[in-house]
Structure 1
Amino acid sequence: MRLTRTWHLSDARQSLVLASFADRLPEVVYWGPPLPESEHIETLAEAAAMDVTGGMIDANAPVSLNPEASRTFPGQTGLIARNAAGQPLAPSFSFKSETASEHGHTLVFTDSNLGLSLSFDLTLTPDTSLLKLQTRLDSTTAIQVEWLAAPVLPAPAHLDEMIEFSGRWCSEFLTRRLPFAPGARLRDNRTGRTDHAHFPGLIVCGAETRNTRGEAYAFHYGWSGGHRMVAEELADGRRQVQFGHASASMARGQRFQTAPLYAAYSPEGLNGAAVLFQRHARDHIVTGARTPRPVHYNCWEAIYFDHKLDELKSIASRAADLGAERFVLDDGWFGKRDDDTSSLGDWVIDHRKYPDGLTPLIDHVKALGLEFGIWFEPEMINENSDLYRTHPDWVLGPAEQIRGRQQLVLDMAREDVRAYLHDRIADILANNNIGYIKWDHNRVLPVIDSTQSEGVYALLDRLRTGFPHVEIESCASGGGRIDFGILERTQRVWLSDSNDALERQRIQHDAALFLPASVTGSHVGPRHCHTSGRVLDIGIRAWTAAQRHMGFEMDPRELTEDEAATLRQVTGWWKANRDWMMQADILRLDSSDPAVIAEQQLSEDGARFAVFAAQIRTSDQILPHPLRLTGLNPEATYSITLTNRDDASRLSRGAPLLKQTDLEASGQYLMSHGLTLPWRFPQTIWVLEGRRL
């Protein structure tokens, strides 16, 4: 019998069992539904051994938490490193120590010949049941690390698909299903930020898995500096999933650490995993968020760079009249910033536009009862700026690099750069009544280096310590930097620069696989959308924003009286419901009509919910399919109201019950048969409210 060590992380939702054979690196021998307390874990470890046959080496190299080249591992290894002479390192780690905590273990393995120590921090988070896994490598001498994987997890053989994430500016969180096949699916995001095209997530599932049914294994790498993902099927059929920093982003040194890898098993479809991520982000990652969440107004698409004090006061007054509770002054208030070609880095108030500083505008905004917020893009610099003329040496990357959005990047690894930015931002915050920062990041990086993101984290941490009352939004041309790493330091994300409600419906729907409503900014944009050119009715624009942290981003003076009345009504509804909705689970609904995007927001106690069903385009059939709900008590009775039944078109000529009165029905009926809704035009939305009787 081989010497076997085992570890078991378990709660009511999932179990993870690891085993180390002969003191070698541990491997996952079970991950799935919770095992009974009577389960003999040592037996499971022995039962995990697989056979060998012709054409194979005499033992299977393990898919360990860090697969080793020294074990003749046939796939992607968990560590690629070189010594000072440039020679590849092939460590052979053995057990050194373990430390148990209340919710996990720290396991340490060493290679004394090479002076290396590999540590795994393994936690199953209480309440939210997420695996939080992190790898650290220590060396007694300076080495070069090209790749270090967070603890490696297997993908089960019976689930043959993966859902990965891509996207672009104004179309973030695109999902795509791919089949598992022999070989490696590799995503290497070398943009230096989370990026629109590379959200660091993956979901392994079956062909039958949908929002409300089937199994799913979900992964998220909580890091803002670019990541590498490997989803690999070995020739022998075993599978592994690896996440870590983008390749070549780690430098020479003696200590290297991955970001946390968060993972969850769900037997209840995609929603089962999504809810765990939503709850963990809302309740354990984000700290210091304003409660209740204030209705947000941002002036960018109203004025762009054309700052006139009287106009801004007028806009603020109109926004307050419509229900706004926060006013954010966007780009253009500093330096000589009349367009996007100058002044980044010169964080001083432009006295051409604000001869008396920001005080007159802030005083007006505060008198309206609104919080005042302001825009910064601290990591960037224009060549046409006083800062660049003084410190061209502060620029990240080579002088001949391609510019991005006519701007360069500051080297955030430099302490003097961070000190300068801190002092300028702190001066603005200390001398003005400001409660909110929109922190932007509008280009990819010319050099991929993890120290850049570490420097950003350090600056954010210092500012939050000095100004704990100031909320910060992570914006990167919209959704270019959204991950659990940045959310540990911010309270809101700007999901996308697209204020097109139809685009937003899809983006919000897919982002809900990981993000809660409380941190997800969503705004009512202009009637004529600036990013899509589409003209949309105020109804779908307002209700789409009301599905997340609601705000406005247009010139509110463009609204007709009818549009203003609708916006006030929806904003009032959101305020009346935000306390429970911002703590609700977002459950994506499986619509049998692909023209409909629908979700159900279910309160913590399950006693109330809201359903949003958006008709994105014309349906292929004449009449609406019933919309089946989820997450209800089948034995309970619920009362359902069609909140916006007055929006029914004249072409809806029949008499569906919900168009006339409320419906009372069992949870079983609502989940099995579903709601029969009135006919409607495309580019409209139905909103329903439910209460358990």
Structure 2
Amino acid sequence: MIKTWHLGDDRQSLVLASHDGRLPEVVYWGLALPDGEALEPLAAAAIMDVTGGMVDENAPTSLSPEASRTFPGQTGLTVRDADGAVLRPNFVIHSEEQSGNQIILTFVDTECGLTIIFDLSLTAETSLLRLQTRLQSKDDIIVDWLAAPVLPAPAHTNEMIEFSGRWCSEFQTCRLPVAPGARVRDNRTGRTDHAHFPGLIVCSKATSNTAGDAYAFHYGWSGGHKMVAEELADGRRQVQFGHATSSMAKGKSFETAPLYATFSDSGFNGTAVRFQRHVRTQIVRDARTPRPVHYNCWEAIYFDHKLEDLKSIADRAAELGAERFVLDDGWFGRRDDDTTSLGDWTIDPRKYPNGLTPLIDHVTSLGMEFGIWYEPEMINEDSDLYRAHPEWVLGPADQTRGRQQLVLDMARRDVRDYLFDQMSAVLGAHKIGYVKWDHNRVLPIVDAAQTDGVYELFDRLRVAFPHIEFESCSSGGGRIDFGILERTQRVWLSDSNDALERQRIQHDAALFLPASVTGSHVGPRHCHTSGRVIGMSLRAWTAAQRHMGFEMDPRELTPQEAETLKAVTQWWKANRDWLMSADILRLDTVDPAVIAEIQVAEDDQKFAAFAALARPSDQILPYPVRLAGLDPQAFYRISLANRDEAHHLSRGAPLLKSQDMSVSGQYLMSHGLTLPWRFPETIWVIEGQRVSA
């Protein structure tokens, strides 16, 4: 007996099949099947042969491959009873529910007392699958591994793209060949982490930004996680995501985070746009519209808070175009450096003898919203909180410290109550519209209860202060995922304000993140994380590619730098309404020194393209930059937004250097734009407006 289910829209289809009431497996995942396609023949056709040296029947790569079926690879569930004895459940179907584009399938093993539930849905607006596994037991059990619903990596794919990185260099991509055996990445840092963004793209060698098959995955969880990408000896492949190994405790009920996935035959941009739209419309809630120009004072003052200096900085930031002013680390306890006061969330009377009100009143009088920095999950040993409650620390007393700090046990209700009360006292007494929520070290132990506790505190604060926007910062990009984005409206992509690093980081993060939630700031002339000195034009236009902000001492700017920054900020404000809802498409460039992307408006009437030359090109003259995502039959008026930056060593006469042009989308995507010559570490900004032929 074969039972089938179909989740699909006009872009993709996912077909499941169960044989004889056993756990279902994916028998088709790809382009949308036509209406009327019979599914049972697909299920029968997916049955693979057996030959010498094999067992007599292939165990299915089901939504949770089972040890009881002699599955030869990573199983979807590793579970023990309360005494530690290994259980090998043998699930059979119990019930099914289907409503529109959601399917809930329940399977049971009465002998083991276990129930496994698969919650599968496809969001019609964004064509993104959302898949989750739940496990229930009649007795206490120990779960060492529970995978979200397991998906196949089809045989015609032969490469995968993983995401790694480090502090100040997040979202590094690593393109690897698919090979026999298991590629396992077990992130046990307790947070999403710089080095383990929970994403994966399975593709072919020929897949590019604009063409080819891509299967993209993201695990929406803010704690430690594990990824398994495996090719079995028989050639089948599977992809698993779940919480980090051993992060789940003893209990009777367990669930994975949602696994988001999608297929596209139009390259990495096809999957990227779906993730971007899903974050923008389905994940992030209550974001300010329009997105305000952001100013953060950290790289201007660090811990040296002086009211008159801050007022002066606020004056200058507002003059440059800022609409939000964020007071960063150093306003609380006796916080003169990073060795003290985390946990003591009361205003420092030495720095603010009259409290924060004089600064807030000044900021708001300038027309800016006021924001403030917190690091709620952390504690210093030199703090009143630690002296009162050393038992609130997560992990052993002799653990290695991280950045001079320890971690609070967020699974404890009394810890969360304390933090809620401390934060509420400040947030409720002042006109505060924004919180930058930092998290500056890995955890001493991996425990899902820590993340659950953080989520609970976030959710409680969101209810109490619905007018406040939250930013997720974890030494920059150490906690960026769809789980934290359900509770925040912005992420701090990296602590690096080096515009060249930012170009690469933003480019790769766009595979999952839209511009509207991705904070990008104009840093100081002399970058404190790289030591480089970068011109204002590249710094400003790089920030203008995402949610724009400043993070430097604006009093250091020369008149020319200030003029450039004002002009770019005005350009961003004039275009942000459509830019913050635009699709970001990465461009395939012939010159590897060029990082380029195009942002196309929702209504397809306009676009902005950015082409940065990160280093010297190997050839003398620039190659044409081919665009993407346009209507080939439409005509567009093209101009250079920063035409006045053409250098005198550009001595020729490319058309765009002196005037606008009108050409077809077909020309722009097939041939591309010939841009004026420029020095490295500069950028061209191309504007396009759809016009009649």
Tell me, yes or no, whether TM beats 0.5: yes
Q: Describe the SS at the equivalent of 1:262.
A: strand
1:73-222 paired onto structure 2 within 5 Å:
73-222=71-220
Match of residue 504 from structure 1:
502
CA distance in 2, matches of 1:212, 1:249: 38
1:277-356 paired onto structure 2 within 5 Å:
277-356=275-354
Match of residue 388 from structure 2:
390
CA distance in 2, matches of 1:399, 1:222: 31
Match of residue 446 from structure 1:
444
Shift, 1:395, TM fit: 0.1
CA distance in 2, matches of 1:359, 1:102: 52
Shift, 1:103, TM fit: 1.4
* Runs (5+) with no aligned partner, structure 2: none
Shift, 1:102, TM fit: 2.0
Match 1:53 to one of 51, 54, 60: 51
Measured against aligned partners, the alpha-carbon deviations of 1:242-293 in whole angstroms (never above 9, x if no partner) come to: 0000001001000000000000001000000000000000111000111000
Shift, 1:199, TM fit: 0.1
CA distance in 1, matches of 2:407, 2:82: 30
Q: Describe the SS at the equivalent of 2:116.
A: strand
1:390-469 paired onto structure 2 within 5 Å:
390-469=388-467
CA distance in 2, matches of 1:210, 1:183: 26
Q: Describe the SS at the equivalent of 1:18.
A: strand
CA distance in 2, matches of 1:450, 1:681: 49
Q: Describe the SS at the equivalent of 1:313.
A: helix
Task: Output the aligned Cα RMSD.
Answer: 0.4
Q: Structure 2 counterpart of 1:228, which letter?
A: K
Measured against aligned partners, the alpha-carbon deviations of 1:664-691 in whole angstroms (never above 9, x if no partner) come to: 1111111000000000000000001001
Query: Any runs of at least 4 consecutive aligned residues in structure 1 with deviations exceeding 6 A, and if so which?
Result: none
Q: Describe the SS at the equivalent of 2:85.
A: coil
CA distance in 1, matches of 2:83, 2:330: 50
Match 2:570 to one of 569, 572, 582: 572
1:615-634 paired onto structure 2 within 5 Å:
615-634=613-632
- Structure 1 length as normaliser, TM-score? 1.00
Match of residue 227 from structure 2:
229
Q: Structure 2 counterpart of 1:476, which letter?
A: S
Measured against aligned partners, the alpha-carbon deviations of 1:616-650 in whole angstroms (never above 9, x if no partner) come to: 00000000000000111111111100110110111
Whether 1:363 aligns to 2:361 is: yes
Q: Describe the SS at the equivalent of 1:128.
A: coil
Match 1:637 to one of 614, 635, 658: 635
Q: Structure 2 counterpart of 1:615, which letter?
A: L
CA distance in 1, matches of 2:360, 2:100: 48
- Structure 2 length as normaliser, TM-score? 1.00
CA distance in 2, matches of 1:429, 1:663: 52
Q: Structure 2 counterpart of 1:98, which letter?
A: E
CA distance in 1, matches of 2:667, 2:686: 16
Q: Structure 2 counterpart of 1:551, which letter?
A: G
Shift, 1:596, TM fit: 0.3
CA distance in 2, matches of 1:74, 1:582: 47
Q: Structure 2 counterpart of 1:118, which letter?
A: I
Match of residue 581 from structure 1:
579
Shift, 1:419, TM fit: 0.2
Whether 1:267 aligns to 2:265 is: yes
Measured against aligned partners, the alpha-carbon deviations of 1:87-137 in whole angstroms (never above 9, x if no partner) come to: 001000000001112211000000000100000000011210001000000
Q: Structure 2 counterpart of 1:280, which letter?
A: H
Q: Describe the SS at the equivalent of 2:86.
A: coil
1:225-264 paired onto structure 2 within 5 Å:
225-264=223-262
Q: Describe the SS at the equivalent of 1:240.
A: strand
Number of residue pairs matched by the alignment: 691
Match of residue 11 from structure 2:
13
CA distance in 2, matches of 1:330, 1:102: 46
Shift, 1:605, TM fit: 1.2
CA distance in 2, matches of 1:438, 1:226: 22
Match of residue 589 from structure 2:
591
Match of residue 680 from structure 2:
682
Measured against aligned partners, the alpha-carbon deviations of 1:524-547 in whole angstroms (never above 9, x if no partner) come to: 000000100000000000000000
Measured against aligned partners, the alpha-carbon deviations of 1:70-100 in whole angstroms (never above 9, x if no partner) come to: 0000000000010011100100000000111
Q: Describe the SS at the equivalent of 1:469.
A: coil
CA distance in 2, matches of 1:663, 1:152: 50
Q: Describe the SS at the equivalent of 1:76.
A: coil
Match of residue 599 from structure 2:
601
Deviates more, 1:629-638 or 1:431-440: 629-638
Match of residue 22 from structure 2:
24
CA distance in 2, matches of 1:479, 1:431: 30
Q: Structure 2 counterpart of 1:80, which letter?
A: T
Q: Describe the SS at the equivalent of 1:680.
A: coil
Shift, 1:4, TM fit: 1.0
Q: Structure 1 counterpart of 2:48, which letter?
A: M
Q: Describe the SS at the equivalent of 1:146.
A: strand
CA distance in 1, matches of 2:657, 2:162: 39
Q: Structure 1 counterpart of 2:447, which letter?
A: D
Q: Structure 1 counterpart of 2:328, which letter?
A: D
Measured against aligned partners, the alpha-carbon deviations of 1:427-447 in whole angstroms (never above 9, x if no partner) come to: 100101100000000000001
Q: Structure 1 counterpart of 2:580, which letter?
A: M
CA distance in 2, matches of 1:82, 1:551: 51
Q: Describe the SS at the equivalent of 2:17.
A: strand
CA distance in 2, matches of 1:553, 1:85: 55
Q: Structure 2 counterpart of 1:187, which letter?
A: R
Q: Describe the SS at the equivalent of 2:227.
A: strand
Identity %: 74
Q: Describe the SS at the equivalent of 1:427.
A: helix
1:370-381 paired onto structure 2 within 5 Å:
370-381=368-379
CA distance in 2, matches of 1:71, 1:103: 30
Q: Structure 2 counterpart of 1:493, which letter?
A: V
Shift, 1:43, TM fit: 1.0
Match of residue 667 from structure 1:
665
Shift, 1:388, TM fit: 0.1
CA distance in 1, matches of 2:201, 2:485: 21
CA distance in 2, matches of 1:49, 1:326: 59
Whether 1:646 aligns to 2:608 is: no
Shift, 1:332, TM fit: 0.2
CA distance in 2, matches of 1:654, 1:268: 36
Measured against aligned partners, the alpha-carbon deviations of 1:460-509 in whole angstroms (never above 9, x if no partner) come to: 00000000000000000000000000000000000000000000000000
